[in-house]
Structure 1
Amino acid sequence: MTPEDRAELVKRLAELPLARREALRRSLAEQADGMAWPLSSGQERLWFLSRFDPADTGYHMMWHVRLHGAVDHAGLVWAFSRIVARHEVLRTRFLLRGDRPAQVVREPEQVPVERMDGGEQAVVGFVNRPFDLSRDLPIRVALIGDGDAHLLCMVIHHIAGDAWSLDVLMRELAECYAAYQEGREPDLPALPLQYRHFAVWERKRQDPRALEWWAEWLAGVPPLDLPADRPRPKRWSGRAVRQYVSVPDDAATRLEDLAKQERCTPFMALVVAFQASMGLRAGQEDFCVGVPVHGRGRAEFAPLIGCFSNTIALRADLSGDPTFRELLRRARGPFLRALQNSDTPFERVLNAVQPPRDLSRPPLCQVVFNLTHDLPKADLFRTTLGDLRVETCEPLRVTQARAEIFGEIYRDAGGVGGWLEYNSDLFSAETGHLIGETFTGLVHRAGKHPDLRLSLLKVSTERHVR
């Protein structure tokens, strides 16, 4: 560029309106940050939801543990900084480039571990502090308390992580913290790739036949219209309260034995029980239940932190007052096909199905059933961190939910346990309790009396509730 050309460019820039100059400056600054990469389909939807409602904290994932012993704050800072340097997605900014969002990876930097005082309310405030995805790291950490007992609270925006990622995070935190104490480098294997590589791969990998199947299977499905105690707000809020549920081992085993007889998995049986309980409460035969899947079908995805999880929509068919055994038989084929096509991003399914637009409720799946026992948990529930003893904390009662009813269910030696988060704008505490009891009561009765029709099973379930 000649001096004359440079002078002409400066002159033209000076003549631009102030707002236009500022927009250009921001754009150039963003481009200087580094190469932009596409978002995965799941990330793009989460980015849009964040832009639509920046105050929404429904997609904040948190994990907190109590640390017993002399906590080395500098060691925690060093450990988290090493983890964030290792996993690019945890140091990524999400920016608008042209008319599409993009992810730009920052250079490694020191990750602060905030020092805070207070109890559960301090944790709740920390968890519910919104992320600015264009500026903030999508992870933050706080150390709460003093003396020999601290709460370590970690929050990751779902755009950069999923439930599987929390186990990876705790495993690497333990190794990095121990390495700091011992004055050595962490012994962690090199990562085979980064999350941005998955995003590029997922964008290129499209199976039109799978999408056609989803569009055909879900065509015309109505929303689930659960009877509410309060008028439905014009815009979805996500305010939620948690109702704990449990089914003893003998009742859970009976349901699993029935599933085996019908060549179904225990997972299918629990989903069908959830579908039936929701349908009985709504008096509705046709609707969808959302089911999260981990989305890590390739071995190289296993050691990564990132947003791999996907949601599949499982359509219920309760028509004709079937028995529970018949429901299992009906569900088996479509459920297996849905799992075979579970790599199809939920966002693409939404675009193909085009459910009626309604800002007052989540699209397509108003209720979600998440069975978590097959996720890796060995490091999530670890009992040591270097020379510290680690105590897993009771999950916090959330203030935001992603569905009108969101079930987080697990199976262990004691039976089936977990909770249902219900939207407190719609349902009272009494109704939330009844919804939980309807589900657990149906699991009890369906395993004992699988050949009762739903109309009779409903009566039996109501007696169980009372």
Structure 2
Amino acid sequence: MTGETRGGGRAVTGEERRAALLARLAALPPERREALRALTLAGAAAGRKAPADGGAGGAGAQEVPGSAEAGRSWPLSFGQERLWFLNRFDPADTVYNTPWCVRLRGPVDAGALAEALTRVAGRHHVLRARFRLDGDRPVQVVAPAGPVPLEVAEIAGDPAPAVVELVNRPFDLESDPPLRAALLRLDDGTSLLCLVLHHIVVDGWSLDVLMRELAECYAARREGRGPVLEELPMQYTDFAVEDRRRDRTARLEYWTRTLAGVPVLDLPADLPRPARWTGRGGQEPLRVPGGTVARLEEVARRERCTLFMALVAAYQAALGLLAGQDDLCVGVPVAGRGRTELAPLIGYFSTTLVLRADLSGDPTFRELLGRTRVTLLRGLQHADAPFEQILGALRLPRDLSRPPLLQAMFNLHNMPKDDLLRTSMGDLEVEVYPVPAAGRTKAEVSVDLWRAGEGLGGVLDYGCDLFTAETARRFARAFTGLLERAGTGPDLRLSELGGG
């Protein structure tokens, strides 16, 4: 990582910054140091969830009661604190960079686009936050409103390398804004708008809010009017204050009871496990035909379950068969916006729900689906306990070679119809540009699925320090094959579902 210069002196290297951080941690009281160590080791995931419909209210960016003041320091939410420590632990790691790219057809007004970004950042103070140490605790400081830089570049040929470079550029959360934007003009006459935000200020729901407001502000500028945006009821910094004050004792007692003694998921690896988890990842595509999805949905409906429950159950079963385990955990992201006033905000609200699978007794898929339903519903009742607090309460043995508690993740993306997948922005035609794989993963194995016509498309991300591409393809075939067999034979036992 390149060094940075402070106060006109020599550049401070990443190693020096890391050493300084560790020295500060070593000086803390033992109980505080242990809590921060748990946060540093924690993994995170954020998923997308369809947002509530956004209404139109007052015009322009309005100041709201209790909103942040520029220059004032605010606490971090529990989720933000974990991501901050992970960033300080390894500033060059870009696994928590969150990208979104769209292709624009038509003459793009770069000035109007930059102004639209500036308006959105002016409304949502978290997009102007800087993250710093205040004594022994990190805080967020809201920078004064100002222009959001828009990088503009001419790209000849395939734009994928330029996009990957933009996505994999680390954020300096202490000094730089947590949002970067680039307009790449392509030689076919179209342009790519690429937004990259650090996960500390955004989740999947937030991306939808961002694109909705960006489109309205751009269209307003082009049409010579003020943007029509709903008035924000609060700011993310207000939520962070509330998050630190909430008493979650009962929730944490549930999770420590439910997850006591849970083993790690030990999938058969091709390569020796490194001493430290690096997050280096590969990716394999997934495809589930429409017929398979329809049969699985029918099985789920008869058991008072959702398609999501059936997919999770099948994923747990596939992992258990591959690892030879009947007890394992899978993490699924939840939106974390249980109150209506949080719906129009940009920020990091999502958390990870830990689903402990019980595959004991070689159950039928129908029986496993019933168990998964109960586990998921109970978990959702206690979902407001932040993942990092659960980790701290469990006091798991330290193991830097694995993501803590969750080695496997699953997500079914309920993609919005009108904002992330919008087809216009002012006088421009818009289509989603799939971000090329950036070679990073948050888990040893992770499945992401989304609707694709009548079926499902998706990807399997895997840790390439452990698995070869061929093994990842075998994992993917095991999962999709089990989905097919479960849909046609829900009364088959797991040992039978694992067949070819």
Establish whether TM, by shorter chain, passes 0.5.
yes
Deviation at 1:302, TM superposition (A): 0.8
Q: How far apart, CA to CA, are the structure 2 residues paired with 1:102 and 1:190? A: 26
Deviation at 1:416, TM superposition (A): 2.1
Query: Gapped runs of 5+ residues in structure 2?
Result: 1-19, 21-68
Partner residue of 2:471 out of 412, 428, 431? 431
Match of 1:12 in 2: none
Partner residue of 1:396 out of 436, 457, 478? 436
Deviation at 1:149, TM superposition (A): 1.1
Q: Indicate the structure with greater helix content.
A: 1
Deviation at 1:116, TM superposition (A): 2.2
Which secondary structure state, in structure 2, belongs to the residue aligned with residue 440 of structure 1?
helix
Deviation at 1:413, TM superposition (A): 4.2
Which secondary structure state, in structure 2, belongs to the residue aligned with residue 82 of structure 1?
helix
Partner residue of 1:103 out of 121, 140, 162? 140
Match of 1:6 in 2: none
2:97 maps to 1:57: no
Equivalent residues in 2 for 1:47-446 (5 A)?
47-118=84-155, 119-146=159-186, 148-373=189-414, 375-411=415-451, 413-446=453-486
Deviation sequence 1:353-384 (CA, Å, 0-9, x none): 122211111000001001111x5342101111
Q: How far apart, CA to CA, are the structure 2 residues paired with 1:441 and 1:398? A: 27
Deviation sequence 1:372-397 (CA, Å, 0-9, x none): 11x53421011111111112112311
Match of 1:35 in 2: 72
Deviation at 1:308, TM superposition (A): 0.6
Which secondary structure state, in structure 1, belongs to the residue aligned with residue 169 of structure 2?
coil
Q: How far apart, CA to CA, are the structure 2 residues paired with 1:397 and 1:146? A: 20
Deviation at 1:86, TM superposition (A): 0.6
Q: Specify the code of the residue in structure 1 equivalent to 2:287.
A: S
Q: How far apart, CA to CA, are the structure 1 residues paired with 2:112 and 2:307? A: 43
Q: How far apart, CA to CA, are the structure 2 residues paired with 1:344 and 1:320? A: 31
CA contact (8 A) 2:447 2:458 kept: yes
Q: Specify the code of the residue in structure 2 equivalent to 1:130.
A: P
Q: How far apart, CA to CA, are the structure 2 residues paired with 1:90 and 1:420? A: 30
Q: Specify the code of the residue in structure 1 equivalent to 2:149.
A: P
CA contact (8 A) 1:167 1:377 kept: no
Deviation at 1:398, TM superposition (A): 2.5
Q: How far apart, CA to CA, are the structure 2 residues paired with 1:414 and 1:33? A: 48
Q: Specify the code of the residue in structure 2 equivalent to 1:207.
A: R
2:495 maps to 1:455: yes
Q: How far apart, CA to CA, are the structure 1 residues paired with 2:236 and 2:160? A: 33
Q: TM-score, normalised by structure 1?
A: 0.90
Match of 2:66 in 1: none
CA contact (8 A) 1:296 1:308 kept: yes
Q: How far apart, CA to CA, are the structure 1 residues paired with 2:167 and 2:371? A: 42
Q: How far apart, CA to CA, are the structure 2 residues paired with 1:264 and 1:70? A: 48
Q: Specify the code of the residue in structure 2 equivalent to 1:326.
A: E
Q: How far apart, CA to CA, are the structure 2 residues paired with 1:34 and 1:111? A: 18
Q: How far apart, CA to CA, are the structure 1 residues paired with 2:154 and 2:328? A: 46
Deviation at 1:139, TM superposition (A): 0.5
Deviation sequence 1:209-261 (CA, Å, 0-9, x none): 11101110000101101111111111111111221111112211211221222
Which secondary structure state, in structure 1, belongs to the residue aligned with residue 193 of structure 2?
strand
Tell me which moved more, 417-426 or 49-58: 417-426
CA contact (8 A) 2:168 2:438 kept: no
CA contact (8 A) 2:210 2:346 kept: yes
Deviation sequence 1:166-222 (CA, Å, 0-9, x none): 111111111111111122221111111100111111222223111101110000101
Q: Specify the code of the residue in structure 1 equivalent to 2:327.
A: D
Q: TM-score, normalised by structure 2?
A: 0.84
Q: How far apart, CA to CA, are the structure 1 residues paired with 2:412 and 2:70? A: 40
Give the number of the structure whose alpha-carbon radius of gyration is greater.
1
Q: How far apart, CA to CA, are the structure 2 residues paired with 1:33 and 1:79? A: 20
Q: How far apart, CA to CA, are the structure 2 residues paired with 1:256 and 1:353? A: 35
- Runs in 1 of length 4+ with deviation above 4 angstroms? none
Equivalent residues, number? 429
CA contact (8 A) 2:74 2:237 kept: yes
Which secondary structure state, in structure 2, belongs to the residue aligned with residue 252 of structure 1?
helix
Which secondary structure state, in structure 2, belongs to the residue aligned with residue 254 of structure 1?
helix
Kindly, what percent of the aligned residue pairs are identical? 57
Deviation at 1:33, TM superposition (A): 6.8
Which secondary structure state, in structure 1, belongs to the residue aligned with residue 384 of structure 2?
coil
CA contact (8 A) 1:164 1:376 kept: no
Deviation sequence 1:110-164 (CA, Å, 0-9, x none): 0010012332111111110000000111000001125631111000100000011
